[in-house]
Structure 1
């Protein structure tokens, strides 16, 4: 099934959550000179104009990135949020730099911080999404692949660089994807056990994400930090009520840094918004 296109959801609260975690990890990796290979298994388009027909149809960015943009002066009191918001500002049109008219996807966040010694591989299976992605002006060190990101991840390992960072964020349109992601991650960590892996999952009333979390724990992986942002209660929503992120092998201090940032961010998204961070599997 290739019906999912992220443009309909660009800039929503889940994007904000996911990309803030990603940004924090990139920031940590850049503190050392040694090279990093980044792999994005479900890249999407890279950068989304918020006036696009698909994005305006649902307008989910209004309850996500736009709320943060309007409160950016106050949110910038937190160092991580200040840096992330500066990155968000850099993604806007030069004609109106104070207006929020674009939302950057994970390829943009990764490519903007890429150094000469680093590498980036972007996988996208959807033909139209890959076509949009191929139009983005990215560095020569960025390799774009029209293909399945989960199998592409396994085929890419081990990498030539000393360090590895992987983002896995499928749409989970098919319920089987939870099991496929778990199986892929268990195999990937056997081939690159020191890699940092970020896994996004939706919080839905059906609770299918629990099978993913349980499978990773049962598979013997250690050192998994969990971050969940809830913007509504499961009982009040028929759709996605929250966003989850797992970080395998998180950098030291990531949990505290994100807890501080999310404590400021969550209330801006709404009175019902809550963040929880904990160790799903300890070291």
Structure 2
């Protein structure tokens, strides 16, 4: 099934949660000089004009990134948010106008160093076509294929460090199990990897299958955060929240993200809640 295109949902509250987490992880990884391989298994098209037909149809960005952008002067007092909003501003044509929302390929490539490499994988032919048109550094490789299979095939990597983002659409019920099995296998191959997994919170509760499988999969250190937003406040097919798992999170990540998410939670609506916890297996 290849019906999902993220352009319809770009910049929504889940994107803010996901990309702020990714940004913070990258920030911590860059504190060391050793090379990093980044792999994005479901890359999408990379950059989303908010005026594009697909994105403008639902305008989910209005209840997501737009709220942060409008409050950016105040939010910039929080260090992580200030850095994220400053980066977001570099994508825009004009300083005070929000015209674009960058997807994970941009957030990953923006601070890519010469010694690092980035593999962007996308299966949807239309999305991959858009991705191929993006201007990206020479150490970025764009691949048309199944992200989970490509990840398994390309591990281990040659660099001493690895960071992976797994961010599927979960259109198919089987994807929850496939993501769990792929993540467990990847961590067995590269135990020091930092692996991020995004998942939706839906009324069906299928994300629990993913969480239960990972809990029993031998992963030793996992940090979970969830931005819970009742579906009545949004438009994305009853999505009630956004979940992020960070396996092997860098030290200090939790504190910075909790501070940042606490600062923006009220902007997204009084009913929005943010929660987080650790899974540690001795």
TM-score (norm. length: structure 2): 0.97
Alignment of 1:1-283 (within 5 A): 1-93=1-93, 96-232=94-230, 239-282=238-281
Q: CA RMSD in A?
A: 1.5
**Aligned counterparts of 1:276 and 1:257: Cα–Cα separation in 2:** 14
Displaced runs of 4 or more, over 4 A: 233-238
- Structure 2: stretches of 5+ with no match in the other structure: none
Most deviating of 233-242 and 40-49 = 233-242
Does the 8 Å CA contact 2:231/2:239 hold for their aligned counterparts? no
Shift of 1:281: 3.7
Shift of 1:29: 0.7
**Aligned counterparts of 2:233 and 2:176: Cα–Cα separation in 1:** 22
Shift of 1:269: 0.8
Shift of 1:236: 10
Shift of 1:97: 2.3
Name the SS for the 1:114 alignment partner: coil
- Cα deviation, 1:70-98, whole Å, max 9, x if unaligned, reads 000111111000000001101112xx221
Shift of 1:273: 1.1
State how many pairs are aligned. Answer: 281
Does the 8 Å CA contact 1:205/1:235 hold for their aligned counterparts? no
Shift of 1:282: 4.9
Shift of 1:233: 6.7
Residue 215 and residue 234 in structure 1: after superposition, are their counterparts in 2 closer, same or farther (change >3 A)? farther
Does the 8 Å CA contact 1:225/1:248 hold for their aligned counterparts? yes
- Structure 1: stretches of 5+ with no match in the other structure: none
TM-score (norm. length: structure 1): 0.97
Does the 8 Å CA contact 1:204/1:234 hold for their aligned counterparts? no
**Aligned counterparts of 1:150 and 1:224: Cα–Cα separation in 2:** 20
Does the 8 Å CA contact 2:195/2:246 hold for their aligned counterparts? yes
- Cα deviation, 1:160-202, whole Å, max 9, x if unaligned, reads 1010000000000111100000011111111011100000000
**Aligned counterparts of 2:71 and 2:130: Cα–Cα separation in 1:** 30
Residue 234 and residue 247 in structure 1: after superposition, are their counterparts in 2 closer, same or farther (change >3 A)? farther
Shift of 1:234: 8.9
